[in-house]
Amino acid sequence: MPSPLKYNKKYDKLTDEEKELLEINKKSIADFVEQSSTISDVNYATRNAHAKTYAVAKGEFIIDKNVPEELQPFFDKERYELMIRFSNAQLKINDSKKDVPAYGFSVKIKDENGDLLANYPLVNFPLFPINSVSTFLKLFTSVNRFYIKKWSSFSLMLQILKVIPSTFTGSFLKNGFKLFAKRNDFILSFDYHSVGAYRLGENMMKIKLQPKSVDKNFDKKKRPKDALNRYFNENDFYADVLIQICYDLKHQPINRLNVEWKNSPFIKIGEVKIEKGALQNPTACENELLSFNPFESKYYFQPVGKIQKLRDEAYKVSLQTRQKINKLLKYK
C-alpha cells in the first residue's frame, strides 16, 4: 500500500461567505432549541438533530490483539469505557410506532481515569448527500426556520431541490437501495458509519461499526425503543470496529461525502461490547444532556473536512441552549 496522506488544515478551511452562513445557521439552531419543547410536545429542550433518544448504554471498546504496529500507539490499552446513545435523526420527537430508519449510534470513549478521548457520532447510512457547505447551511437553516414557523414549506422545498443532483452518484444510489431494503430491520442489525473523515494522528480515517450475530428480524413489529430494551435485557451485543485509511484524495476524498472510499481496505482495530443489562435511564439529567461533539476529542482524533468543521459550533450552540433551558424546565 502507498503511504497514508497526511492531515492538513486546508481540508477544514471555510470561506468568508461560509462563515457568515454558519453564523446565521447558529442563530436558527438556538431558536429551534428554544422552541423545541413546544415543537416536540415534551417538557424539556431537545437537540436540533437526532432529538429522539431510544436508549443510553454503557459499554466497552476492546482492542484487537492484531492491530497493525503503526496503529498501536493510538490504542495502547486493552479496553476503554464507552457511553453510547441510540437515536433517530429526526428533529421532532413523535410517538409514532414506525420511525424513518435514520438511526444514530453515538459513542463517547474514555480512558481508565474517565477522561474523554473521543466522541464519534455514527449513523446507519455511510454517505452524506451534500458536498457544498453553503448549500448545506442554507438547507439546515431553512429546516430550522420551517419548524419554528419562520419560513414557508415552499422556501424549504427550493432548498431541498438544490440537494437532489448530488444524490445521483453510484455510491449514493446503491446505498439508498440497500437502506430501503433494510428499512424494517432491527436497529442493531445495521452497520454504522462515521460518514466524514477523522484524524488518526497525522493520518486520516473513516470508521465503520459492524454488528455481529444480530437477528435483523428481532422484535420487528415493536417500536425501536421497546425492541432495544428487550434485546439488552436478554443479550450481550458485539460489533467489530473497522477503519479505512486515506491514501489519496482521488479514491478517498475528504470533502466529497456522497461517494464511498475505494482502494483502502478495512482494518479491524477492536470490538464494541455492551453487556446484558447495561442500559441506563435515557431521561436522566446527565444522559439527556450528553453531548457527542467530535471536536471535544483529543486533537489526534478530531474530525476532518469542511462539512465536519460545521459540527463544532453547531454542537456547542445546541448544548449551551439545551443546558440553559433544561435547568429551568425539567432539572430544577
Domains in the chain, start-ordered, CATH in brackets?
A: 9-329 (2.40.180.10)
For residue 332, the model assigns a pLDDT of: 47
DSSP 38-80: HHHT-SSPPPSSS-EEEEEEEEEEEEPTT--GGGGGG--SSEE
Place of cell 430494551: 229
d(CA 296, CA 253): 24
Give the mean pLDDT of 203-208: 98
Element (H, E) at 29: helix 16-40
For residue 98, the model assigns a pLDDT of: 84
For residue 208, the model assigns a pLDDT of: 98
Question: In sequence order, what are the residues at sequence separation of 6 or more whose Cβ sits closer than 8 angstroms to the Cβ of residue 186?
Answer: 214, 215, 216, 217, 218, 219, 220, 227, 231
As given in the structure block, the three cell numbers for residue 71 are 496503529
**How does pLDDT run across 43-67, given as a tens digit for each residue?**
888 998 999 999 999 999 999 999 9
Compute and round to an integer the Cα radius of gyration of the chain. 19
* The pLDDT of residue 330 is above 90: no
* The pLDDT of residue 328 is above 70: no
Give the mean pLDDT of 163-170: 90
Give the mean pLDDT of 124-135: 94
d(CA 109, CA 81): 6
For residue 1, the model assigns a pLDDT of: 64
Q: Under a CB-based contact definition with an 8 Å cutoff, are residues 88 and 52 in contact?
A: yes
Give the mean pLDDT of 128-140: 93
pTM of structure = 0.94
**How does pLDDT run across 255-293, given as a tens digit for each residue?**
999 999 999 999 999 999 999 999 998 777 677 788 899
Question: In sequence order, what are the residues at sequence separation of 6 or more whose Cβ sits closer than 8 angstroms to the Cβ of residue 72?
Answer: none
Q: How far is CA 306 from the centre of its chain?
A: 16
* The pLDDT of residue 221 is above 90: no
Average pLDDT, the chain: 92
d(CA 313, CA 311): 6
Give the mean pLDDT of 298-307: 96
For residue 323, the model assigns a pLDDT of: 87
* The pLDDT of residue 151 is above 80: no
Helix axes 306-329, 133-147, angle to 10 degrees: 20
Give the mean pLDDT of 200-204: 97
Tell me how many degrees the CA angle 105-298-5 measures, rounded to the nearest 5.
Answer: 90
Amino acid in position 176: G
